[in-house]
């Protein structure tokens, strides 16, 4: 697939007008676009750009996009202890859990992020350091995962209680600004999503700590934008 092909593909999808979502919920906009393009995974190989990540978003969305999932080797004590100390009882599932969105100011659980020149920290307002990420490792992951993005925007309409999407704009974003990524963490535009709980066996189940950005801020991460449609 080349630039001309992907441009023509998106233009043809745009000509379809509003198409019904093929999945309920926030991921419907991306999943439906993948199916319309004919992708089994959310990446595309373009000769001029290499492997690029496909991201679809609703126009003026306040939803979040997961950019990275990264937590191996960062915890300063056991995950079971972290969940027990800083988590809560999930009454519905009757288990101790820690599903929490964390930004640069303490949330209701007292958790927040802090950055210096070398590390990103997950802290509690009792001055306990829970996790430490090496900034250079995050930079490497950014380069590997989201250096280039094909961003497709959709206008949303509701018909018979179901979302319909008009995919009307597509751009290729290049030159991921690593320093900008950390600036967005510092301003709360990129959040850290903790997703873990204690299993019946007593061990920890961690779905991966997600670095997530509000969709409306995604373009702020990139130095260059090439409009396709």
pLDDT score of 113 more than 60: yes
Q: Phi and psi dihedrals of 23, rounded to 5?
A: -155, 135
- The predicted-structure confidence for 119-138, as pLDDT tens digits, reads as follows 999 999 998 999 999 999 98
Q: How confident is the model at residue 48 (pLDDT cuts 50, 70, 90)?
A: low
Mean pLDDT, the chain, integer:
89
Burial of 25 (0-12, 13-18, 19+ CB in 10 A): exposed
Identify the structural domains of the chain with CATH numbers, from first to last.
3-227 (3.30.70.3570)
- The predicted-structure confidence for 4-31, as pLDDT tens digits, reads as follows 888 999 999 999 999 999 999 888 999 9
pLDDT score of 50 more than 70: no
- The predicted-structure confidence for 77-108, as pLDDT tens digits, reads as follows 999 999 999 999 999 989 999 999 999 999 99
Tell me the C-alpha to C-alpha distance, in Å, between residue 2 and each of 6, 34, 54, 78, 125.
Answer: 6, 17, 14, 47, 50
């Amino acid at each position: 697939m080349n630039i001309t092909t992907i441009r023509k593909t998106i233009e043809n999808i745009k000509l379809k007008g509003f198409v019904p979502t093929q999945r309920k919920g926030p991921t419907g906009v991306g999943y439906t676009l993948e199916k319309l393009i004919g992708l089994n995974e959310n990446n595309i190989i373009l000769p001029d750009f290499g492997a690029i990540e496909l991201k679809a978003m609703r126009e003026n969305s306040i939803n979040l996009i997961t950019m990275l999932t990264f937590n191996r080797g960062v915890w300063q004590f056991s995950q079971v202890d972290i969940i027990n100390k800083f988590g809560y009882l999930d009454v519905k599932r009757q288990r101790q859990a820690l599903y929490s969105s964390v930004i640069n100011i303490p949330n209701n659980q007292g958790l927040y992020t802090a950055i210096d020149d070398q590390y990103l920290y997950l802290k509690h307002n009792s001055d306990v350091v829970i996790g430490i990420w090496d900034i250079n490792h995050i930079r490497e992951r950014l380069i590997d995962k989201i250096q280039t993005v094909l961003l497709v925007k959709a206008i949303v309409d509701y018909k018979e209680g179901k979302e319909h999407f008009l995919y009307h704009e597509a751009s290729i974003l290049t030159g991921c600004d690593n320093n900008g990524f950390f600036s967005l963490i510092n301003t709360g535009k990129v959040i850290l999503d903790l997703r873990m709980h204690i299993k019946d066996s007593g061990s920890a189940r961690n779905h991966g700590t997600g670095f997530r950005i509000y969709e409306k801020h995604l373009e702020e991460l990139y130095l260059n934008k090439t409009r396709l449609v």
